[in-house]
Amino acid sequence: MHIEKIELRHIKMVLVSPFVTSMGTEYDEEHIIVRVDADGVTGWGESVAEGTPFYSYETVQTAWHILKDFLIPSILGKDIASVDEAIASYAKVRGHMMAKAGLEAALWDAFAKTRNIPLSKMLGGTRNKIDVGVSIGIQSSVGELLKKVEGYLGEGYKRIKIKISPGYDLQFVEALRKEFPRLLLQVDANSAYTLSDINIFKQMDDYNLQLIEQPLGYEDIYDHSKLQRELKTPICLDESIHSLDDTRAAIELDSCRIINIKPGRVGGYTESKLIHDYCASMNIPVWHGGMLESGIGRAGNVALASLPNFLLPGDISASKRYYKEDIVEPEFVVNPDGTMDVPTKPGIGVEVNMKMLEKVTVRSEEYKQ
Ligand code: OSB
Ligand code: MG
């Protein structure tokens, strides 16, 4: 595939409601859309680096710099036979997983379109529908949370994840469990606690949670192994996992018993697949996380989540749960049975709505050979 042209767009989309986590409050989401033109097809990807370095050290600005000055020059104007070949050409760039994943996603889409097959098939997906859940930010009161959960359950979502932070934890879990005894429920702390908070987690252990996501340090693997030892509820790592190597360390140390896969956090679909396959071989279930993506990133997430070891519902919700209008057509919807259809058209399987994309673009740049 001859890489003729690459375009970056810094986008900013306003969330339908603010998303509150232990990391702060997000009112809108800034990402980078990557467009690759090659051999008469257009591939699309989304880099999930955010406007702020609060979830990850990467930001839109750092990802833009790495893409523009290192990743794009390594493939622009060249003939690339496979995604692996592109990855090899920028392998000496350390870290910057979200920058890499955005470009890799656009290349996967372009290759799938050249081969005229859906991305899901190209990645090794085996399902035509995936189970989906919803991630709910910290609410101001138990009453507010119950109302939100009821609404989402009414739309079909198969499981609920709530964000927690010190002072906003046990009372929410207890109230939800009381109201919905059989609900598939999990919590995500985004690294808001330390081992000295172990008693909170020991109490949480009594509420039959599906998992506790990233309770401790955002790069930690060791302390999580000490916490997991004291709990029957599985710990799931998100922030701490950037690679297959991290995954092996976490599983061999029994730091977690479930892995959250986000392609942006691990550098792309290629590393995601390696993690998926390794976890399958170790009987460790994985599920697909989310970064409040636009429809472009979401399309890739849905395709990846169609692989067989994605055994728990993903943080992959309907377009309208995030944004009033998405930048793809058709928008992503949740079926009444809590599933989402995996696109069957070539590549990401949805069309980019150029008018909407233009509306949310705050800066763009084009690179030609
Ligand atoms: O920790 O999973 C997380 C969003 C931004 C940054 C980190 C996280 C999240 C979410 C949102 O939980 C999940 C979604 O996209 O629905
Ligand atoms: Mg998380």
pLDDT, tens digit (0-9, with 9 covering 90-100), for 279-322: 999 999 999 999 999 999 999 999 999 999 999 999 999 999 99
Q: How far is the CA of 119 from the centre of ligand 1 (A)?
A: 23
Q: Do residues 152 and 132 lie in contact, with contact meaning Cβ atoms separated by under 8 Å?
A: no
Residue 53 pLDDT level (bands cut at 50, 70, 90): very high
Domain with CATH 3.30.390.10 in the chain: 3-116+352-368
Measured from the Cβ of residue 18, the count of other Cβ atoms closer than 10 Å reads 11
Identify the bridge partners of residue 188 per DSSP, sorted by sequence position. Answer: 163, 213
Residue 130 has, within 13 A of its CA and on its CB side, a CA count of 32
Catalytic residue list: 163, 262
Note the pLDDT of residue 369: 83
Domain with CATH 3.20.20.120 in the chain: 121-341
Give the contacts of 53 (CB within 8 A, at least 6 positions apart): 59, 62
The reply to whether the predicted model has a pTM over 0.85 is: yes
Residue 112 pLDDT level (bands cut at 50, 70, 90): very high
Q: What angle do CA 187, 263, 333 make, to 5 degrees?
A: 70
For residue 47 and ligand 1, the question of a CB distance below 6 A is answered with no
- For residues 176-201, average pLDDT: 98
When the pLDDT of each residue in the chain is averaged and rounded to a whole number, the result is: 98
Strand 258-261 and strand 235-237: pairing? parallel
Closest CA to 263 of 294, 235, 289: 289
Name the strand (E) or helix (H) holding 301: helix 295-304
With 90 as the cut, is the pLDDT of residue 171 above it? yes
Residue 168 pLDDT level (bands cut at 50, 70, 90): very high
Residues with CB under 5 A from ligand 2 (ion): 188, 213, 238
For residue 191 and ligand 1, the question of a CB distance below 6 A is answered with no
For residue 269 and ligand 1, the question of a CB distance below 6 A is answered with no
For residue 55 and ligand 1, the question of a CB distance below 6 A is answered with yes
**CATH class of domain segment(s) 3-116+352-368:** alpha beta
Measured from the Cβ of residue 69, the count of other Cβ atoms closer than 10 Å reads 10
- For residues 4-26, average pLDDT: 97
Q: What architecture is the 121-341 domain classified under in CATH?
A: Alpha-Beta Barrel (3.20)
DSSP 160: E
Note the pLDDT of residue 303: 98
CA–CA gap between residue 199 and residue 197 (Å, rounded): 6
Minimal-distance CA residue to ligand 1 atom 12 = 135
Question: What is the torsional sign of CA 159, 160, 165, 168?
Answer: negative
DSSP 197: G
CA–CA gap between residue 280 and residue 308 (Å, rounded): 9
